Amino acid sequence: MGLAWLRLLIVFVVLSALPVSAVASIGKVLSVKPGADVIRAGKKIRLRQGMEVASGDTISTDRSGVVQLLFVDETKIAVGPNARMILDVSMLRGNRKAKSFTVQALGGSFRFISGKSRKRAYSIKTPNATMAVRGTIFDMWITSENQSAMLVIEGTVQMCGLRGSCRSASRRCSLFATSSNGRVGRPADQDQYDKALQGGFPFIRSQNNLLPPFRVTAEGCSGAQAKAPKVESEQPERRAAQRQAEQRQAESPARERGRSESPGRASASAEGRSGTSASAGVSSSGEASTSVSASSGNRGGSGPRATATAGNASATAGW
């Protein structure tokens, strides 16, 4: 029994003396701009080009630091200034793919380019959101414990807030963010979209600090040609009311034809400029009237609005 314990002790001492790279390497630093550290086993070490990284490492940068990491499964992560993340990666035995590849992004900006591991192996966590990666390229911006944002460049990403609200993005330049109430939504307008890009997505504004493998085609996501995705209402009741209004508007001509032989009247009017409205309606003597109107905006800057009225009941949809 004593001899067996002695052998175990010798094995433990030998393994403890081996460098981390010999037992737990999951990738390496391809490039580092001064101002980046790794915290490993409670010790803070200055990152250097060529240094290997291990599961459990915490990578952090100051306002000037930029780190570019290449993992054994060919996943690539660029870490921007004032950022911090924790790596939790488990590799499959006998190959160069990850069994699970989890990144806890705690603050700052990042670019994520998935590698050869299975899609379901990847998971990105922030203080207020989780992201399921489906083979993609996207940038992240974690502003605080209250908000996280992602901009999809290629592929598909599903972002879920703390309250279970989830949105999937697959269009190039689609931008989603969490809100203070735990939901996930898009920018309210082009101005908010542009402010987000200027404030938290440095690799969209310029890729000069990135190595060629980290540079991607992102035309149309910033600059004069950038177009924010159309805003969508997050409230189900408003979307339902809008669909109901559109359905009634589509059915109005059919009701007019059915009542053409009865006493009554039918009318329709439309104006094309923003801020005006278009309406269609039909009425019959002694019967309740139904009308639908839709406007494309108003002076207050709000988006499209639709109103449906039948008798004394009405419903309005918009944002």
Of the spans 62-76, 175-189, 242-256, which averages the highest pLDDT?
62-76
Exposure pattern of 293-319 as b/e (b: 16+ CB <10 Å)? Answer: bbbeeeeeeebebbbbbeeeeebebbb
Rounded to the nearest 5°, which phi and psi values hold at 7? -65, -45
Residues pairing with 274 in the sheet: none
Are 154 and 216 contacting, i.e. CB atoms less than 8 angstroms apart?
A: yes
The two three-digit tokens of residue 78, written as one number: 């660029």
- Phi/psi for 314 (5° steps) reads -145, 155
Per DSSP bridges, beta strands 290-295 and 76-79 are unpaired
Most confident option among 37-46, 175-184, 242-251: 37-46
Q: Which two tokens stand for residue 110?
A: 């990042």
Q: For the whole model, what pTM was predicted?
A: 0.66
Confidence at residue 264, expressed as pLDDT on a 0 to 100 scale: 45
Q: Give phi and psi for 192, each to the nearest 5.
A: -65, -35
User: Exposed, middle or buried: residue 270 (CB in 10 Å: 0-12, 13-18, 19+)?
Assistant: exposed
Confidence check: pLDDT of 27 > 90:
yes
Give, rounded to a whole angstrom, the gap between the first and last alpha carbons of the chain.
75
Digit-coded pLDDT (tens) for 177-220: 998 888 999 998 999 999 999 999 999 999 999 999 999 998 88
Choose which CATH entry (3.60.40.10, 2.60.120.1440, 3.40.605.10, 3.40.1550.10) describes domain 20-214: 2.60.120.1440
List the domain boundaries for the chain. 20-214, 236-318
- Dihedral angle sign, alpha carbons of residues 196, 201, 204, 206: positive
